[in-house]
Structure 1
Amino acid sequence: MTTVREVAPGVHLVQHAHVNCYLLEDTDGLTVVDAGLPGVWQQLGRAVREIGYRPRDVRAVLLTHAHFDHVGVARRLQERLGVPVWAHPEEVSLAAHPYRYAHENPRAAYPLRHPSAVPILTAMARAGALWVRGVTGLSPLTPGTTVEVPGRPEVVLSAGHTYGHCALHLPERGTLLSGDALVTLDPYTAETGPRIIAGAATADSDMALRSLDALAQTGASTVLPGHGEPWTGGIEVAVEHARAVGAS
């Protein structure tokens, strides 16, 4: 069974329970971008082997942000493989306590208002969304710099979904890993197409919409979100769509 697919040059998508992880490869090995939910563990291991590597080839874990559905196996990767886990300094406390996140709107109302999202949230729960262990000892992602790990991504501050959210730009590959700053599936509403995530999980929607400017400035042709399918119509068009949809 195929568990991984190449979605940009040297970038591989591992999709589990409507949450996306990515593997960046180059001659130095692999970087894991975002660590999904606990249930992705075996699938992630199979994916590493399917693309011709071994777990020991994983050199780093980069977190776009530290919500529970993006740190699911970060601690396990850190402990088992001895690899550093990177995130923006604003994410340190959240990474240690991934359920203590700021959000604008009550979460309980969303399944009632958006019943089509219930199967998505149920799948996430079954994948371990209710028992994620936090991770500590993070290395800092610094906006405007290149991280010296496989893939050499450039850090793009895109705060709003969380206060330290960072997208990762691969300019030589024309690719932007947008995390949850811009997604093509909102798990809380089940709406598809480029957008920011609903206030049930976003700290500041106005800030998130402003941060779209930083994403657009990358000029990336391929956008790889934290939830939903890759977008190949260019970041500028994706940002236009997201602004038109607005906050929810």
Structure 2
Amino acid sequence: MTPRETASAGRTTDGIREVAEGVVMITRAETNSYLVATDEGIVLIDAGLPRSWPLLERALATFGSLPDDLAGVLLTHGHFDHVGTLERLQREHHVPIHVHAADVELVRHPYRYDREASRGLYPIVHPGGIPILLRMTLAGALAVRGVDARGDIVPGRPTRGGLVPLATPGHTHGHVAFHHPDRGLLFTGDALVTLDPYTGRAGPQIVARAATADSAEALATLTPLTATGAPVVLPGHGAAWTRGIHRAVALALAAGAH
């Protein structure tokens, strides 16, 4: 498998792009979700912001599919910007939603999350994040509805389509990444991003303390990801990283917490 996406860390614009064979990245307001074609059907990893719905429909159409055809949604975590289309998927299309048990309550109440620092000062200290946060707001970040999800994702136990969940707590208490060993892909959610919406800073890193429950834990969970040896890292924010998980983790650890 040769990735179609050759960009490394950096900003992403609204749209859809094939990042690997059978894998489409959906991006709205620098927030990513992924459609993955598997032997068990098409799986959606994370659900973006509410106004990413038209992009989701377009992305599904590239597979000749509709929302009703989704085999399920696998959530890396329950923050508001990763669950935005779930209510519609569940209500209108009865798509099953899966998450780690520790994030079930967060999916129900996606604005009630633990964080180390107040968000209030970030626009002053990190003005580069302002345009991103404004785009997220316009994409429905303030109007996300929580849902009931199945808390049945267990690290190490393969889930739909052969995706293997990996424990990556820190950003949230139940955060997981998903490894697709057959394709050399690692979906890191917000455990490791290439663009931080709160600071506007590009490059492999963890998300700012304004949205992270435990930065020390988030940094500590990065090193085990290198055991996957994944050549391609697909984050929750920012462009695909095609220089390998070892390099991404090294840069993220060097960057530290902000």
Q: TM-score range by the shorter chain?
A: over 0.9
Matches within 5 A, 1:157-176: 157-176=167-186
- CA 1:239–1:137 in structure 2 vs 1: closer, same or farther (change >3 Å)? closer
> What's the counterpart of residue 82 of structure 1?
94
> What's the counterpart of residue 105 of structure 2?
93
* Shift, 1:152, TM fit: 1.9
User: Which letter does structure 1 place at the counterpart of 2:227?
Assistant: Q
Greater displacement, 187-196 / 41-50: 41-50
Distance 1:76 1:131 in 2: 13
> Is 1:198 aligned with 2:208?
yes
> What's the counterpart of residue 14 of structure 1?
26
> Is 1:138 aligned with 2:159?
no
Distance 2:40 2:173 in 1: 31
Distance 2:249 2:92 in 1: 38
Of 46, 52, 73, the match for 1:34 = 46
* Shift, 1:131, TM fit: 1.1
Of 110, 113, 129, the match for 2:141 = 129
* Shift, 1:214, TM fit: 2.1
* Shift, 1:80, TM fit: 1.6
Q: Secondary structure at the match of 2:43?
A: strand
Greater displacement, 223-232 / 45-54: 45-54
- Relative to the length of structure 1, the TM-score reads 0.96
Q: Secondary structure at the match of 1:207?
A: helix
Q: Secondary structure at the match of 1:239?
A: helix
Distance 2:30 2:94 in 1: 27
Number of aligned residues? 245
Residues 165-223 of structure 1 deviation map (CA, whole Å, 9 limit, x = unaligned): 00000000000000000000000000001000010000000000000022111110000
Greater displacement, 72-81 / 11-20: 72-81
- Matched-pair contact (CA < 8 Å) for 1:84–1:139: no
* Shift, 1:32, TM fit: 0.6
> What's the counterpart of residue 195 of structure 2?
185
Q: Secondary structure at the match of 1:223?
A: strand
- Matched-pair contact (CA < 8 Å) for 1:3–1:46: no
> What's the counterpart of residue 120 of structure 1?
132
Distance 1:111 1:181 in 2: 22
* Shift, 1:137, TM fit: 3.8
Residues 127-148 of structure 1 deviation map (CA, whole Å, 9 limit, x = unaligned): 111110001142410001100x
Query: Percent of aligned positions with the same letter in both sequences?
Result: 50
- Relative to the length of structure 2, the TM-score reads 0.92
Runs of 4+ in 1 over 4 A off after TM superposition: none
- Matched-pair contact (CA < 8 Å) for 2:67–2:89: no
> What's the counterpart of residue 237 of structure 1?
247
- Matched-pair contact (CA < 8 Å) for 1:4–1:50: no
